[in-house]
Amino acid sequence: MTKWEQIKHKLVTQEEAKAIISSWKDNGEKVVFTNGCFDILHRGHVTYLAKAASIGNYLIVGVNSDDSVRRLNKAPNRPVNDEESRALIIASLEVVDLVVIFENDTPKELIEFMKPSILVKGADYDADLRDESDPKYVVGANEVKAYGGTVMTIDLEEGFSTTGIIERLK
């Protein structure tokens, strides 16, 4: 298999991801899940994903679809890159094992469906919150905790954001 085929092979459907995750978990492996738009890949994304991958045996990344990014109202003209491009770029990272594009506004349904061992978000969220209406609540945390999974946050690298990059380009 060529390197390009290896990268494309990491892009899977939700159903494929669930089957793969189940087999990994059956073997006692810890599966980490995180998500985001990952519109313009930068150092902050790379360090965050590397830290997330180090928490378990496998890292699954949920990437927001183009429509869900637009509904998040990140900024005008976002996403800059289309969903397939963003997913392929994330899949090209050695620390990432699988990438799943999701259509909903949040990854809650995807998390419930795949049941990762560990749910991770940046430290701008609070892993201990249970109130889903709090903006610092980690979406899917209550569901992950309910089946015995773990929810964690990771420190973010200061000074790196897609919005900041776009502003500097203006």
Taking only the tens place, the pLDDT of each residue in 102-111 is: 999 999 999 9
Has residue 13 got a pLDDT over 80? yes
Has residue 163 got a pLDDT over 70? no
* pTM (predicted TM-score): 0.91
Bridge partner residues of 153 (DSSP)? 121
pLDDT (tens digit, 9 = 90+) per residue, 33-90? 999 999 888 888 999 999 999 999 999 999 999 999 998 876 677 798 999 999 999 9
Residue 60 · residue 100 · CB < 8 Å = yes
Has residue 169 got a pLDDT over 70? no
**137 φ, ψ to 5°?**
-65, 135
